Chains A and B, each alone.
Chain A
Amino acid sequence: MSAALAMGGYAAYVWPAYGVSLLFLAAAVVLTWRAYARARARLAALETP
């Protein structure tokens, strides 16, 4: 297990690459979905008198 985590001595480069990728993609999903939900809510509030 620890051998796999060590990435053959390159853990300091490989894991940050995976971490930053996960962070960016997750943030893109969350921000995109939040903006969509907000737009839907605003439109729904305007369309129901």
Chain B
Amino acid sequence: MFALANPKRFLDASAPLLPWLAGAAALALGAGLVLGLRSPPDYQQGDTVKIMFLHVPAAWTAMMAYGLLALCSFFSLVWRHPLAAVAAKAAAPLGAMFTLLGLVTGALWGRPMWGAWWVWDGRLTSFLLLLFLNLGYIALWNAIEDETRAARAAAILALLGAVNLPVIEFSVDWWTTLHQGESILRSGGPLIAPVFLWPLGLMALGYTLLFLTLWTVRIRTEILERRVRALLLAGAA
């Protein structure tokens, strides 16, 4: 992994990988969508169970995105890898998008099932905080002109915010909530029937692969933009 922590090598290594990543994401999303829309209504939730195939993958991907953002921030703070700060910065807008998607699909599921678009419980509130952490991270990058200082400040914010990830994860156990508990990755096996588990798994895979594809393209974009800035500076000197 450290061998890839060099912008030039990342550009070379990621180029042949991209079409495969994108293709696999499209396949998983397509298959998940077909299986999901053809799944039967749930005996309790009716057809709103079809929102699960969108809501759960979006929320998972949002948390993974922030986890990766925090991990890259850690690398950029401790080892000063040039690529780590770029990778963290590139993940934030995607993380914000998936978080917002998790919130919106959650509201559309909560209204018919709980009778409320929104409740201020532990899970929903900590997930809303995740959105603000992503947006705050982006704002901090934009607020500080000097790139090295901006990277440091943003990385520190990202690491402080990482405390929120386990809070989201365990919020359904710690506090009374309307939100259902963990029903997939639990000891004793999933609580969900295979007819729902397959589309859910495929959509989660598709969301993850789509995130990885877009993240890679955004890292490449940032590397190219930095090269443009360096060339312009050299030309002006």
Q: Which residues of A contact B (CB under 8 A)?
A: 7-10, 13-14, 16-18, 20-21, 24-25, 28-29, 32-33, 35-36, 39-40, 42-43, 46-47
Contacts and interface: CB of A to CB of B under 8 A. Distances in A.
Q: Identify whether the interface residues of A are mostly helix, strand, loop, or mixed.
A: helix
Interface stretch (B1-9, B136-144, B217-225): B217-225
A18 to B, nearest CB: 7
Interface in B20-60: 41, 46-48, 50-51, 54-55, 58
Contacts of B101: 20-21, 24-25
Contacts of A16: 108
B178 interface: no
A13 B100 contact: no
Interface of B: 41, 46-48, 50-51, 54-55, 58, 94, 97, 100-101, 104-105, 108-109, 111-112, 210, 214, 217-218, 220-221, 224-225, 227-228, 231-232, 235
B210 A25 contact: yes
